[in-house]
């Protein structure tokens, strides 16, 4: 229609509209990194605020309030600057495109007036052309005006999709079957593993845990103790070697059934908001009150629970702040004891209780966990003296293996560690 009205005026319109579109594309490329930076700085600021709140007691204990305030101001100023730059340059897109489109309208009006004076176009056709040009450029103006919101949404979406695009845990093999009968026989044959392919931390590891045995894993920090547990639970798969469960390759067992065969107590305890009873019974919702109480007694936490005004009905905060760290740990141990799992993993599980209580828990655990295979990781060797097998791990290799008496007679690394702790 516009072409039929006046081909010469089309030339003006054809030139200015592409300029608007090209300007939007150019400015978008320039503004996008600014919005990415704004989103990143906001994330850093929120993370730092959470860190300050959770660690406020430590901050006060070391009189570092002003230091933390200074660090907050620095991050806050960086976030403010990122917000200013992104919003400033983002907000210039709309007015700039409006200027170009208004310039187009001005040129159309000028040239149209000249064409009217020479009789090439009527006044009605000129008015129609101006109206058509405004209708055509309207969507371009609208897109330019919301470019800031679009860029902000795109930056936030990138962060979300980056998390979503993280590689998912590999699916079970087609031939994988549920583990039906669990006795607690675990073997690791010639295991080699590294979190990065070029950095191997476990070298040719061999381990055989027989049903009902207590296997202790000791060694310095970074030796690979927790990594062994991660491999047993199939949080990671070894680059080389084979893990057997009841004589069956772990790859031929579904992850769900394999992990259901274990129960874990970690150094970092986790309690949810609810009663003490519900927290203990979390591992076995169908457990009877008598079984829950028995587990609490075995974990040496029953007397403490009964000393509370509401006993087992006492409400625990989601972060467990209303009870001590040691008591939280003993509650999670009681939860593990209540489980029907045939294998138990304790990763520094008694690190927050005193030595006497450690020994009591270990003794009670052996009585309660009869015919169950236990894996214990500990720095304090008082917790592993009664273990059937002690594995001394160093630089990813098992350098010593045997019970407490055998390793002490050897006079090797274990004997040295034991002597340094108790003499």
Of the spans 78-82, 124-128, 140-144, 167-171, which averages the highest pLDDT?
A: 78-82
Give the pLDDT score at 77: 93
Instruction: Please tell me the distance from the alpha carbon of residue 131 to that of residue 126, in angstroms, as a whole number.
Output: 9
Instruction: Please tell me the distance from the alpha carbon of residue 403 to that of residue 388, in angstroms, as a whole number.
Output: 6
Asked if residue 116 and residue 69 are part of one domain, the reply reads: yes
Q: Please report whether residue 169 resides in a domain.
A: no
Which domain-ending residue is among 113, 130, 164? 164
Contacts of 200-204 with CB under 8 Å at 24 or more apart are 200/239, 200/396, 201/227, 201/395, 201/396, 202/227, 202/228, 202/231, 202/238, 202/396, 203/395, 203/396, 203/397, 204/241, 204/397
Task: Determine the average pLDDT of the residues in 265-294.
Answer: 85
Asked if residue 200 and residue 88 are part of one domain, the reply reads: no
Q: pLDDT band for position 6 (50/70/90)?
A: low
CB–CB of 384/372 below 8 Å?
Answer: no
DSSP per-residue string spanning 253-293: B-HHHHHHTEEEE-SS----SEEHHHHHGGG-TT--HHHHH
Strands 274-275 and 240-245: unpaired
- % pLDDT > 70, the chain: 83
Q: Please report whether residue 285 resides in a domain.
A: yes
The CATH number of the domain where 388 resides is what?
3.40.50.300
Asked if residue 316 and residue 245 are part of one domain, the reply reads: yes
pLDDT tens profile 334-375 = 888 888 788 888 776 666 566 666 666 666 666 666 778 888
3-state class of 402 per DSSP?
strand
Give the pLDDT score at 355: 67
pLDDT tens profile 21-45 = 777 778 778 888 888 888 888 888 9
Find the domain containing 228 and state its range: 186-422
Residue 320 has pLDDT above 60, yes or no: no
Residue 3 has pLDDT above 60, yes or no: no
The least confident of 70-79, 143-152, 311-320 is 143-152
Asked if residue 190 and residue 157 are part of one domain, the reply reads: no
Strands 240-245 and 214-218: unpaired
Asked if residue 190 and residue 155 are part of one domain, the reply reads: no
Residue 131 has pLDDT above 80, yes or no: no
pLDDT tens profile 395-405 = 767 788 888 88
Asked if residue 209 and residue 150 are part of one domain, the reply reads: no
Which helix (H) or strand (E) element contains residue 374? strand 373-377
Q: Please report whether residue 172 resides in a domain.
A: no
Q: Which two tokens stand for residue 106?
A: 């001005």
| Residue 131, beta-bridge partner list | none
Total tally of structural domains belonging to the chain: 2
Q: Which two tokens stand for residue 353?
A: 């209780």
Residue 2 has pLDDT above 70, yes or no: no
Asked if residue 144 and residue 15 are part of one domain, the reply reads: yes
Asked if residue 205 and residue 71 are part of one domain, the reply reads: no
- Would the pTM count as exceeding 0.85? no
Output the CA–CA distances (angstroms, integers) from residue 59 to 46, 76, 397, in the order listed.
Answer: 18, 19, 40
Q: pLDDT band for position 290 (50/70/90)?
A: very high
- % pLDDT > 90, the chain: 6
Asked if residue 143 and residue 285 are part of one domain, the reply reads: no
Give the pLDDT score at 76: 92
Give the pLDDT score at 336: 83
């Amino acid at each position: 229609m516009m072409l039929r009205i006046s081909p010469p005026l089309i030339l003006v319109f054809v030139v200015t509209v592409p300029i608007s579109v090209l300007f939007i594309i150019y400015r978008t490329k320039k503004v996008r990194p600014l919005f990415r930076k704004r989103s990143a700085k906001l994330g850093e600021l929120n993370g730092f605020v959470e860190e300050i709140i959770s660690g406020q007691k430590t901050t006060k204990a070391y009189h570092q309030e002003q230091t933390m305030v200074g660090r907050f101001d620095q991050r806050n100023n960086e976030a403010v600057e990122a917000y200013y730059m992104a919003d400033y340059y983002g907000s210039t897109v709309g007015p700039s495109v409006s200027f170009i489109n208004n310039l187009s309208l001005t040129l159309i009006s000028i040239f149209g007036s000249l064409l009217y004076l020479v009789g090439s176009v009527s006044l009605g056709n000129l008015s129609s052309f101006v109206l058509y040009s405004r209708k055509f450029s309207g969507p371009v103006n609208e897109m330019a005006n919301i470019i800031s919101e679009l860029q902000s949404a795109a930056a936030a979406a990138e962060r979300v999709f980056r998390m979503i695009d993280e590689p998912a845990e590999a699916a079970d093999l087609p031939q994988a079957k549920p583990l039906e009968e669990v006795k607690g026989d675990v073997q690791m044959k010639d295991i080699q593993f590294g979190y990065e392919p070029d950095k191997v931390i476990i070298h040719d590891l061999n381990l055989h845990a027989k049903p009902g045995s207590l296997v202790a894993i000791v060694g310095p920090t970074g030796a690979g103790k927790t990594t062994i547990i991660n491999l047993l639970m199939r949080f990671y798969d070894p680059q080389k070697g084979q893990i057997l469960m009841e004589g069956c390759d772990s790859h031929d067992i579904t992850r769900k059934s394999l992990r259901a065969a274990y129960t874990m107590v970690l150094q970092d305890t986790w309690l949810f908001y609810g009663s003490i009873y519900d927290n203990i019974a979390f591992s076995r919702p169908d457990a009877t009150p008598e079984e829950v109480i028995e587990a609490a007694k075995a974990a040496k936490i029953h007397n403490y629970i009964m000393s509370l005004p509401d006993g087992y009905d006492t409400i625990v905060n989601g972060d467990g702040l209303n009870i001590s760290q040691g008591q939280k740990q003993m509650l999670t141990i009681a939860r593990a004891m209540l489980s029907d799992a045939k294998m138990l993993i304790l990763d520094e599980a008694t690190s927050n209780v005193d030595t006497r209580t450690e020994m009591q828990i270990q003794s009670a655990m052996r009585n309660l966990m009869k015919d169950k295979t236990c894996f214990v990781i500990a720095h304090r060797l008082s917790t592993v003296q009664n273990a059937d097998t002690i594995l001394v791990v160093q630089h990813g290799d098992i350098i010593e293996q045997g019970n407490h008496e055998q390793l002490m007679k050897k006079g090797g690394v274990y004997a040295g560690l034991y002597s340094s702790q108790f003499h």
